[in-house]
């Protein structure tokens, strides 16, 4: 009995140590994020997007949007792509062998006509069945290809992309009208050095309804389930990615909005089809490549909300999505573990990768361990119920603090959402631990298990239901 | 294991911190919304003829130092006349307030403002230099033009961004830009030419581009080709011809596009030959150019349909098919 109690005691101590380490890491990253946000805000106060918009010197961009079975939203998302406010860009929508009406919707909504177009096969990709150009929106090209996955579709789009920068987006994402102006504003300031840009993506059950009349995100989904996901995204973008940008260790450009210099993508051989998901792996690869060669570069995260993506509106879909993310993180971090604590990889090796391991890779194990240890401690009366509840309350408030910090950073940048929505997010912060987090822990454990079993499937969930029109 | 007082104490501290942060978020937002509301109201009052002399410094500052709206300059002028020396002190100082003071001084028409902006260019902080460019770009004056050109030449701010701010004023800066095409630094010559693309009709632009078409720097030669394309002048064919066989691929690519833009039918064959170029960018430019050349482009592309090079044949087919597609609506109308 005494050995069991000792074991339990040590488990609790280890878990406490983990909690202190992980919240310490989060706290430090928030501090860096605040510095970065302040610097960006100070520059923005004086900048005018109007002058960038009016300039003939902006760098053109090719938007590549892979779509697979996105019929319910593809018309709205593609419309948001072709209505972006930017001097020169093209939109390449890649229909990745959808089995629903995706292509038919595109043909109907954008008046597509077949074209004969020869392109360079710089990257391997699945066979193309047809190429189309829109009669109503000349900047829109649609590729219809055999199913090969998202990375394969992005590579296919890259083969047709004409411009120096490419922007990979998700087919279920509604982009804000100013997303490229905001993104390329940074790239323009130093095109030699800035090789990648990403931005904050908001969450909504129906992203097509989340923008205001100016095409900017302004409405939060009022459902608590979606609000939890929104605050999760806020924390991930504003508390972490801005801090990573400050340290030049931005390790995950989000798939829903990732701008890359096309020569850099070409140099490293395009998107990898051997991983479950392409975005985080590509970001790691760019870091690895540039650091190994000792070249100057920067991958930055914008403090601006550049679009709204569809968040799962049921628990089953959410768990499917998050377990996939966990697998992707594990695949990538394990693949690039050689970067850790190697001087050649600088901040990426000493801060970025260890931060990922601490906060993502081993987190589900410790989260489960902590839960079991807490329950067992109460059961064997090593911990009384009051103390257990106080511990939970402290952890809940830590989560609340992190959510509030993210809301503060977001609001200082955009001032987009009504005050009531901000208060709601803040109040939901401490509840996250007991209502939302357990499902995420479960999803992460499931993802870890599936990773160990070698699962590399996408397990795409159905689109959220929409009222018939 | 852990004393209860420690857990309780930690929880209380975290609760207080959470409440404080929540109050910060709400307070900051309310203050921001109020500021915007008052700034709009005051700017409107000034446009409507309100007398700023009776306003407090705080109120004037609030109106003078935001996004530019009508009325901003009136508040800034009053602030400069009332508080000029203090503003100059702040503008010589450090930190965030420096940039804001510089903005108010410049908007208020202080005679010292551009001297202060110039001296602030030495700042080690990139955000101050970025602010200087933006402040100068707001002003449509000779001093602002000179300062922006100086920044472009010195490279104290990314030249791409400075050039972006200079774009709308390129027409009145033609003579300066032409002078800069002789600058010793290739990057300056390049940006001068890129800005001259906005003034293809101005005397001297074409001559500068012709001169730069033999520049030792490839980027400058490519910019020269782009300017020549923008001039739409048919008599520069002899200048573009050697650029079509330049050793650097992006020079060939821009030259090919320029041929299409000026409608140089005599060079259609040379452009068609580029359909077999080793660089994709050049082949793509050649296709666009042939399409722009109309019937001559179609004829040249048709000849390439039998070429032994696969790329050339494919490119030619694409051009011919684009012509066919383009002609369909006419057939329907007919």
Question: Cβ distance A240 to A29 under 8 Å?
Answer: yes
Which residues in chain A (155-174) have CB-CB distances under 8 A to chain B? 162
- pLDDT of amino acid A46: 85
Residue A454 confidence class, pLDDT cut points 50, 70, 90? confident
Measured between alpha carbons, how far is A392 from A97 in angstroms, rounded to an integer?
48
Q: How far apart are the first and last CA of chain A?
A: 65
Contact B1 A9 (CB under 8 A): yes
- Pick A42's closest partner by Cβ from B127, B197, B315: B127
Q: What would the pLDDT profile of A89-137 be if each residue is shown by its tens digit?
A: 999 999 999 999 999 999 999 999 998 777 777 899 999 999 999 999 9
Contact A397 B99 (CB under 8 A): no
Mean pLDDT value across residues A434-441: 94
Contact B7 A117 (CB under 8 A): no
Residue of A nearest to B282 (CA): A162
Measured between alpha carbons, how far is A413 from A410 in angstroms, rounded to an integer?
5
Contact A57 B103 (CB under 8 A): no
Q: What would the pLDDT profile of A152-164 be if each residue is shown by its tens digit?
A: 999 999 999 989 8
Backbone angles phi, psi at A126, to 5 degrees: -60, 160
Complete DSSP assignment for B27-44? HHHHHHHHHHHHHHHHHH
- pLDDT of amino acid A466: 63
Q: What would the pLDDT profile of A368-382 be if each residue is shown by its tens digit?
A: 898 888 888 888 887
Contact A57 B28 (CB under 8 A): no
Mean pLDDT value across residues A313-326: 94
Q: What would the pLDDT profile of A181-230 be if each residue is shown by its tens digit?
A: 999 988 888 888 999 999 999 999 999 889 988 889 888 898 999 999 99
- pLDDT of amino acid A266: 92
Contact B29 A422 (CB under 8 A): yes
Residue A456 confidence class, pLDDT cut points 50, 70, 90? confident
Residue A411 confidence class, pLDDT cut points 50, 70, 90? very high
Contact A191 B160 (CB under 8 A): yes
Residue A12 confidence class, pLDDT cut points 50, 70, 90? confident
Of the residues A6, A27, A43, A46, the best mutation for testing chain B's interface (the one with the most B CB atoms within 10 Å of its CB) is A46
Assigned token pair, B141: 């004056």
Contact B32 A13 (CB under 8 A): no
Residue of A nearest to B103 (CA): A46
Which residues in chain A (181-200) have CB-CB distances under 8 A to chain B? 188-191
Residues of A in contact with B15 (CB under 8 A): 397
Of the residues A10, A113, A115, A116, the best mutation for testing chain B's interface (the one with the most B CB atoms within 10 Å of its CB) is A116
Tell me what percent of the residues of chain A surpass a pLDDT of 90: 71
Per-residue pLDDT at A58 exceeds 80 = yes
Which regions of chain B does DSSP assign to beta strands (E)? none
Contacts (Cβ under 8 Å, ≥6 apart) of A10: none
Tell me the shortest Cα–Cα distance from B100 to chain A, in angstroms: 9
Arithmetic mean of pLDDT over chain A: 91
- pLDDT of amino acid B124: 83
Mean pLDDT value across residues A397-412: 96
Interface A:B, Cβ pairs < 8 A = 135
Measured between alpha carbons, how far is B249 from B230 in angstroms, rounded to an integer?
20
Measured between alpha carbons, how far is A256 from A204 in angstroms, rounded to an integer?
14
Between strands A257-261 and A61-67, the pairing is unpaired
Give CA separation, B127 vs A34, B101, B130, B166, B250, in Å.
Answer: 16, 14, 5, 19, 33
Residues of B in contact with A398 (CB under 8 A): 14
Per-residue confidence in pLDDT tens, chain B, 334 aa: 678 888 899 999 999 999 999 999 999 999 999 999 999 999 999 999 999 999 999 999 999 998 888 999 999 999 999 999 999 999 998 878 899 999 999 999 999 999 999 999 988 888 889 999 999 999 999 999 999 999 999 999 989 989 999 999 999 999 999 999 999 999 999 999 999 999 999 989 999 999 999 999 999 999 999 999 999 888 899 999 999 999 999 999 999 999 999 999 999 999 999 999 988 889 989 999 999 999 999 999 999 998 888 888 988 988 888 887 665 443 333 2
- pLDDT of amino acid B308: 87
Contact B96 A42 (CB under 8 A): yes
Tell me what percent of the residues of chain B surpass a pLDDT of 70: 97
Question: Cβ distance A451 to A330 under 8 Å?
Answer: yes
Contact A118 B135 (CB under 8 A): no
Residue of B nearest to A382 (CA): B1
Mean pLDDT value across residues A312-334: 94
Per-residue pLDDT at A47 exceeds 50 = yes
Per-residue pLDDT at A281 exceeds 90 = yes
Question: Cβ distance A114 to A209 under 8 Å?
Answer: no
């Amino acid at each position: 009995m005494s050995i069991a109690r000792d074991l339990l005691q040590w488990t609790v101590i280890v878990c406490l140590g983990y909690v202190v380490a992980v919240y310490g890491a989060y706290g430090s990253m928030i501090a860096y994020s605040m510095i970065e946000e302040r610097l960006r805000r100070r520059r923005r106060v004086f900048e005018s997007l109007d002058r960038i918009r009016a300039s003939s010197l902006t760098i053109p961009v090719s938007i590549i949007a892979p779509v697979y079975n996105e019929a319910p939203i593809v018309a709205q998302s593609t419309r948001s792509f072709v209505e972006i406010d930017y001097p020169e860009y093209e939109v390449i929508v890649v229909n990745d062998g959808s089995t629903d009406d995706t292509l038919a919707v595109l043909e109907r909504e954008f008046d597509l006509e077949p074209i004969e177009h020869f392109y360079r096969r710089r990257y391997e990709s699945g066979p193309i069945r047809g190429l189309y150009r829109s009669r109503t929106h000349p900047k829109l090209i649609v590729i219809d290809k055999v199913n090969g996955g998202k990375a394969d579709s992005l590579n296919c789009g890259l083969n047709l992309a004409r411009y120096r920068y490419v922007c990979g987006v998700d087919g279920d994402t509604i982009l804000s009208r100013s997303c490229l102006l905001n993104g390329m504003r940074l790239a323009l300031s130093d095109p030699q050095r800035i090789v990648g840009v990403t931005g904050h993506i908001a969450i909504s059950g129906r992203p097509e309804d989340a923008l205001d009349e100016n095409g900017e995100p302004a409405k939060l989904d009022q459902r608590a389930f979606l609000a939890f996901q929104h605050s999760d995204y806020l924390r991930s973008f504003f508390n972490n990615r801005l801090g990573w940008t400050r340290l030049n260790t931005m390790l995950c450009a989000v798939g829903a909005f990732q701008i890359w210099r096309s020569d850099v993508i070409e140099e490293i051989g395009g998107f990898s089809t051997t991983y479950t998901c392409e975005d985080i792996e590509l970001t790691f690869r760019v870091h690895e490549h540039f650091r190994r060669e000792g070249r100057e570069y920067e991958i930055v995260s914008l403090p601006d909300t550049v679009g709204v993506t569809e968040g799962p509106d049921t628990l089953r879909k959410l768990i499917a999505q998050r377990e996939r993310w966990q697998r992707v993180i594990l695949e990538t971090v394990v693949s690039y573990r050689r970067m850790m604590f190697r001087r050649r990889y600088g901040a990426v090796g000493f801060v970025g990768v260890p931060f990922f391991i601490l906060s993502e890779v081993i987190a589900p194990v410790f989260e489960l361990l902590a839960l079991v240890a807490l329950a067992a401690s109460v059961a064997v009366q090593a911990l009384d119920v009051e103390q257990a509840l106080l511990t939970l309350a402290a952890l809940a408030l830590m989560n609340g603090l992190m959510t509030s910090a993210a809301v503060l950073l977001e609001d200082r940048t955009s001032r987009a959402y009504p005050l009531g929505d901000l208060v709601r997010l803040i109040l939901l912060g401490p509840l996250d631990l007991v209502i939302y987090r357990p499902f995420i822990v479960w999803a992460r454990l499931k993802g870890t298990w599936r990773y160990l079993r070698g699962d590399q499937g996408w397990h795409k969930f159905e689109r959220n239901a929409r009222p018939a029109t | 294991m852990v004393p209860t007082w420690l857990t309780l104490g930690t929880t209380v501290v975290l609760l207080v911190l959470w409440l404080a942060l929540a109050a910060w978020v709400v307070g900051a937002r309310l203050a921001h919304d109020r500021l915007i509301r008052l700034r709009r109201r005051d700017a409107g009052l000034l446009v409507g003829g309100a007398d700023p002399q009776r306003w407090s410094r705080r109120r004037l500052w609030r109106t003078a130092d935001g996004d530019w709206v009508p009325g901003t300059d009136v508040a800034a002028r009053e602030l400069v006349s009332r508080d000029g020396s203090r503003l100059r002190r702040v503008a010589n100082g450090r930190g965030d307030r420096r940039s804001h003071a510089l903005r108010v001084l410049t908007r208020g028409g202080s005679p010292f403002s551009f001297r202060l902006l110039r001296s602030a260019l030495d700042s080690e902080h990139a955000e101050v230099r970025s602010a200087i460019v933006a402040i100068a770009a707001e002003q449509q004056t000779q001093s602002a033009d000179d300062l922006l050109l100086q920044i472009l030449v010195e490279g104290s701010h990314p030249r791409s961004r400075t050039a972006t701010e200079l774009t709308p004023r390129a027409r009145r800066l033609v003579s300066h830009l032409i002078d800069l095409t002789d600058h010793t630094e290739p990057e300056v010559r390049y940006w001068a030419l890129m800005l001259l693309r906005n003034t293809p009709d101005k005397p001297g632009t074409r001559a500068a581009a012709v001169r730069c078409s033999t520049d030792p720097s490839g980027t400058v030669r490519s910019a020269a080709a782009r300017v020549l394309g923008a001039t739409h002048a048919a008599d520069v064919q002899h200048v573009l011809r050697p650029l079509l066989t330049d050793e650097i691929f992006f020079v060939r690519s821009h030259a090919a596009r320029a041929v299409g833009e000026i409608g140089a039918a005599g060079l259609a064959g040379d452009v068609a030959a580029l359909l077999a170029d080793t660089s994709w960018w050049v082949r793509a430019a050649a296709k666009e150019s042939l399409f722009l050349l109309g019937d001559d482009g179609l004829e040249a592309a048709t000849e390439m349909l039998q070429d032994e090079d696969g790329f050339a044949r494919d490119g030619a087919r694409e051009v011919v098919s684009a012509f066919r597609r383009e002609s369909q609506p006419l057939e329907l109308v007919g």
